[in-house]
């Protein structure tokens, strides 16, 4: 096996190539993804992020999977923006529980330049001061707002493409796919770490998953982290009765993401509550190396912290430390004579 052909980072994947990877025999796909994974990451290491919904519900958008869209009658109660000190206390608890990244979510269509945004900037400063990677997901952002967040100490911003461009208008009608890409570009321009992925189990076709991965993998730079969510069906939303994707499809999507975007953190995101330990182990084998930990995601339940600890113990997985540079030299399973070239590539 020639390492040099494996280490190339590409941004010009064709639909046919991705189709071929996605449709490989299952175990062959996992094997190839696991091989790529070992060239760029410590397979024993998984990043732990904690989510907190700092402003819940009442969102004017119509994302058909979301518990927080005002137009659907879900069990979520609208809450105003949390106080800065409450948020910082939650971040301290998350750090004590082993999280290295703290992600604050607001059910906003877009950020507005008002007092709430000033308070979010204070939260970002405070969480950064605790020594955690601070992430926000606040909806659409202008270039100036992205810069303000960066100046306050934000590390990463999450904004998903969610699905393929073709399927997008079947899932969300209140903003366009291009709106999403614009925000992601504003985040990148502000030199923030880009977190962008999507959601499967919406009733999309394999071609939609392939299209979504093509968009992510052909960005000028791959997102630093790529969350793959499985639908958590929410009563009262248009997708409330939708059957989530199977574990096999989750593993396929994760493995394909890993092969297309070798350096990125691939995050096994929403939907873990319904997965067995064995299913999650397969996801880690296929290259997932990040999870959301904590009893709730934003509004829906997630596995208990103790059961995640047990799973990590069974698999001998250790949490990744905060601010561990993606450009760190890689020593895993690399033939020593080729390590130098690989490190040079990684340092780019």
Site residues for ligand SAM per CB under 6 A:
65-66, 105, 107, 137, 139, 159-160, 162, 199, 229, 231-232, 234, 270, 298
Could you give the CA distance from residue 86 to residue 122 in angstroms, rounded to a whole number?
12
Contact 231, 272 (CB under 8 A): no
Between vectors from CA 137 to CA 13 and to CA 274, what angle results, nearest 5°? Answer: 75
69 touches, from ligand SAM, ligand SF4, ligand DTB, none (C-beta below 5 to 8 Å by class):
ligand SF4
- Alpha helix positions (H), the chain: 3-7, 15-22, 26-40, 84-96, 115-130, 143-152, 165-171, 177-189, 206-217, 247-260, 277-285, 305-314, 336-347
Could you give the CA distance from residue 128 to residue 153 in angstroms, rounded to a whole number?
6
Could you give the CA distance from residue 327 to residue 338 in angstroms, rounded to a whole number?
16
Binding mask 229-248 for ligand DTB (x = CB under 6 A): x--x----------------
Residue 55 has which token pair?
């402003």
Could you give the CA distance from residue 78 to residue 66 in angstroms, rounded to a whole number?
13
CB nearer ligand SF4, residue 39 or residue 237: 237
Compute and round to an integer the Cα radius of gyration of the chain.
Answer: 19
Stretch that binds ligand SF4, among 3-11, 57-65, 211-219, 322-330 (CB under 6 A): 57-65
Binding of ligand SF4 by 139 (CB under 6 A) = yes
Binding of ligand SF4 by 269 (CB under 6 A) = no
Binding of ligand DTB by 197 (CB under 6 A) = yes
Within 4-63, the residues that bind ligand DTB by CB under 6 A are 51
159 touches, from ligand SAM, ligand DTB, ligand SF4, none (C-beta below 5 to 8 Å by class):
ligand SAM
155 touches, from ligand DTB, ligand SF4, ligand SAM, none (C-beta below 5 to 8 Å by class):
none
Contact 6, 36 (CB under 8 A): yes
Binding of ligand SF4 by 68 (CB under 6 A) = yes
CB nearer ligand SF4, residue 79 or residue 307: 79
Between vectors from CA 89 to CA 84 and to CA 93, what angle results, nearest 5°? Answer: 145
Residue 136 has which token pair?
């926000």
Stretch that binds ligand SF4, among 61-69, 177-185, 228-236, 322-330 (CB under 6 A): 61-69
Binding of ligand SF4 by 163 (CB under 6 A) = no
Binding of ligand SF4 by 232 (CB under 6 A) = no
Stretch that binds ligand DTB, among 82-90, 146-154, 242-250, 296-304 (CB under 6 A): 296-304
Binding of ligand DTB by 300 (CB under 6 A) = yes
Within 97-136, the residues that bind ligand DTB by CB under 6 A are 103, 105
Q: Is beta strand 101-106 parallel, antiparallel or unpaired with respect to 288-292? A: unpaired
Q: Which residues are catalytic?
A: 59, 63, 66, 103, 135, 195, 267
Residue 101 Cα to chain centre, angstroms: 12
Q: Could you tell me if residue 172 is left (phi over 0), alpha (psi between -120 and 50 degrees) or otherwise beta? A: beta
Kindly list the residues in this chain that would bind ligand SF4 in the complex (CB under 6 A). Answer: 59, 61, 63, 66, 68-69, 107, 109, 139
Kindly list the residues in this chain that would bind ligand DTB in the complex (CB under 6 A). Answer: 51, 67, 103, 105, 137, 158, 160, 197, 227, 229, 232, 269-270, 297-300
């Amino acid at each position: 096996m020639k390492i040099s052909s494996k280490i190339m980072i590409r941004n010009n994947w064709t639909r046919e190539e991705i189709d071929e990877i996605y449709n490989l025999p299952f175990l062959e796909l996992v094997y190839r993804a696991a091989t790529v994974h070992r060239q760029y990451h410590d397979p024993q290491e998984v990043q732990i992020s904690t989510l907190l919904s700092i402003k819940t519900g009442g969102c004017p958008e119509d994302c058909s999977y979301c518990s927080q869209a005002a137009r659907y009658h879900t069990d979520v109660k609208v809450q105003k923006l949390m106080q800065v000190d409450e948020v910082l206390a939650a971040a301290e608890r998350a750090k004590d529980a082993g999280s290295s990244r703290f992600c604050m979510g607001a059910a906003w269509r877009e950020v507005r330049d008002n007092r709430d945004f000033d308070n979010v900037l204070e939260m970002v400063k405070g969480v950064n001061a605790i020594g955690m990677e601070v992430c926000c997901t606040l909806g659409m952002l202008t270039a100036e707002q992205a810069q303000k967040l960066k100046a306050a100490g934000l590390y990463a911003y999450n904004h998903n493409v969610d699905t393929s461009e073709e399927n997008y208008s079947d899932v969300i009608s209140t903003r366009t796919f291009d709106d999403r890409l614009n925000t992601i570009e504003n985040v990148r321009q502000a030199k923030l770490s880009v977190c962008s992925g999507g959601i499967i189990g919406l009733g999309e076709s394999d071609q939609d998953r392939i299209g979504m991965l093509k968009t992510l993998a052909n960005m000028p730079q791959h997102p630093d982290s790529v969350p793959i969510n499985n639908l958590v069906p929410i009563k009262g939303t248009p997708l409330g009765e939708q059957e989530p994707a199977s574990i096999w499809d989750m593993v396929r999507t994760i493995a394909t993401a890993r092969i297309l975007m070798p350096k990125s953190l691939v995050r096994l995101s929403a939907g873990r509550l319904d997965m067995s330990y064995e299913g999650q182990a397969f996801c880690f084998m296929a290259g997932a190396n990040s999870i959301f930990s904590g009893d709730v995601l934003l509004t829906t339940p997630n596995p208990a912290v103790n059961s995640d600890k047990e799973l990590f113990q069974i698999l001998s997985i250790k949490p990744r430390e905060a601010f561990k540079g993606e450009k760190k030299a890689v020593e895993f399973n690399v033939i020593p004579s080729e390590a130098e070239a690989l490190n040079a590539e990684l340092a780019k």
